[in-house]
Structure 1
Amino acid sequence: MTPISRSPKHPWIVLICAATLVTIAMGIRQSFGLYLRPVELDTGIGREAFGFAIAVQNLLLGLAQPFVGALADKHGAGRVAALGGALYALGLVLASMISGAFGLTVTLGGLVGFAMTGVTFVIAIGAAVRAVPAGKRGLAAGIVTAGGSVGQFLLVPVAQGLIQGFGWREALLISAALAALMVPLAIGIAGKPQQVEAGSAPSQSFGEALREAAGHSGFWLLNAGFFVCGFHVAFIGTHLPAFLVDKGLDPAIGARALALVGLFNILGSYVFGVSADRLRKKYVLAWIYLARAVAMVLFLAFPITDVTATVFACTLGFLWLGTVPLTSGLVGQIFGVRYVSTLFGIVFLSHQLGSFFGAWGAGSVYAATGSYDFAWQVSIAIAVLAALLHWPIKDAPLQRPVAR
């Protein structure tokens, strides 16, 4: 039985580069909700159309993720990340030139959505967990996930300042220059995955890995739960700033709320990443989703003020992306890490399908009713459902005959 060969780079180099990639990619991504009102006022593109562009972005990020994950499993994460960073920068440059809804959907939706597949969680976490021993994989996934929160905390206020100081088009161009830095960072996660892992069959093929996952009920329950996570993240990230403005709060409060979500998710990602190595992941996931439901109910039960928005952002931030190291950890725990980018990519597709409905569906609800009430009600209901779905997952590592 031969242990898996890890990257020739020092694990901390891989972790730092992977986390920084996610910091930039997700930091820019989480600022897009701030552009909704400026774009609406400047171009006449409404909330439903803007939400649809973000929904397409999320959908493409999900649809392409299994294929991009497979490329990373075969050719290495570095090449995939370099291409993703270049396309991300190009998409932002082209988005700064749009004048209508179609152009917004093609650039900010299509091109940026596809580009993000190479520089976000699936590729970065896949590279990170392969670089560390098995007992540290949850922590590694938590560190990379926290990178997205660092980006949200740092870059969302910067984006708000750029929009106010220079205009939304110029803010996108400056963001494009930042996105281009992801290309050299990709060198830090370069390297092809090795074939041999302790406790698994070295000869397992790609097709065998897919069939194995497809026949495991826990794999589909993880997909269903991650759909809910995607709905929450896209709904809140895209529409919370506008929701707070509708309630009479200053636009800066919305920017601060998103930044606080990012700040507190740094702590949450670390805590839940560590818990992934110490506790039953499926139970922690169930409690995260239940806590989200409670947080939303309490937020809506009181008048929407600066204080309640701040408390809600901090609470939701702690629960924000703690699902990522736990979900990816369960995939690796059950199926091994040889094809973790591919299998987690499939689960992440479900997340992005949820994101599509969270971004576009909430915008459609607002366009039809003039309110986000129904979107909030759906968010609460599916959070409770996700908590129930994780409980019966069979999380024991699959036993396979070891090749001799």
Structure 2
Amino acid sequence: MTALPQERRVVTAVPGPKSQELQARRAASVARGVGSVLPVFAARAGGGIVEDVDGNRFIDFGSGIAVTSVGASAEAVVRRATEQLQDFTHTCFMVTPYEGYVAVAEALAELTPGDHAKKSALFNSGAEAVENAVKVARSYTGRQAVVVFDHGYHGRTNLTMALTSKNMPYKHGFGPFAPEVYRVPLAYGYRWPTGPANAGPEAAAQAVDQIAKQIGPENVAAIVIEPVLGEGGFIEPAKGFLPALRKFASDHGIVFVADEIQSGFCRTGQWFACEDEGVVPDLITTAKGIAGGLPLAAVTGRAEIMDAAHAGGLGGTYGGNPVACAGALGSIETMKELDLNARAKAIEATMKARLTAMAEKFDVIGDVRGRGAMIAIELVKDRTTKEPAPETTAALAKACHQEGLLVLTCGTYGNVLRFLPPLVIGEDLLTEGLDILEQAFTRI
């Protein structure tokens, strides 16, 4: 475990003087388009704590956006990455390969859903993984169209911006976007017009109807969906929706791609969120939680699909960097050793009990949702109209930050508070963080 004391501590204003000084340097030298949730500069992090340069310690309910699931300085990640650093930092797998890349591909074949033969290709980021999954699907099917969903988020490259549904801040002013991308309805239970019980079958029927009429299934290379939506608001598609789309894809020779970049690697209490309804994707994209904070991403899928791209058609200079691969093997070792799927379920039990109780006290909480350590509350001005309350959401996040709790917002309407604690967070820190949140609700 980390040597960093696992206790919250606020000793200066937030941000403190050293962070303010660094912020001035940042403003002068870093492009304005790179944002920050909280302008405090990190000095150390580990377990469930992030410590800033002023000595303030924040309870971490963000995990660097679901990346540091095993903690920000997990022993096995640090040990394996350090050993690899001493051997070599880079050769480029496409020039002279190395065992670490192969070992990560083997681990992904073992862990991802389905008992079919699987292969992987490794990349640097989630957006790269999604983009390459589309390339592979197009190569395999000989088709061009890609189907995505309302509220979906898939990245910031040109193609993945086209796949992403939210304009600000991801797409605004950055077009034109890649063609042959089609968006269909999502089974968003909380906001489905006829109620959550009907959302799964009705949304699936609408999506299939639109694909049939507007595109033609024979033109669709891939259906790309997050089994639990991340940036779009931690929406769990209503039951039955994912299996119906999986069946439709199978029936029409469409490659079904599960984007598990935010929801993968024990985050939802299973290795992958699509396992909840027994959905076996053709391709699965991973990143974030894969390597304990080192930049790594993967596309894993059916061997015959992954092999469709011609030799040399997939790759990248840094893809599957040896140090990042070592980190991934350390991260997976930690997840297995500490049974972080069970820990994610325990975090869910604690958080949902407290948040449900808060929803009974505070009318602004319209919905409590999510699985494992991927939990959210949607805030509304009125529970009947469900009008989003983004201003209240921002105010609550700021109030939490001032008290030493790092929380993130998300959602198409900017009205969702999302909670992504490291899976190794102590129960005491988890409870204290929820206390701070409840006090913020009481004040605001």
State the TM-score bracket (shorter-chain normalisation): under 0.3
Could you say which structure has the larger radius of gyration? 2
**TM-score, structure 1 normalization:** 0.28
Of the two structures, which has the highest relative contact order with CA contacts closer than 8 Å and spacing of 6 or more? 1
- Which structure has greater strand proportion? 2
**TM-score, structure 2 normalization:** 0.26
- Which structure has greater helix proportion? 1
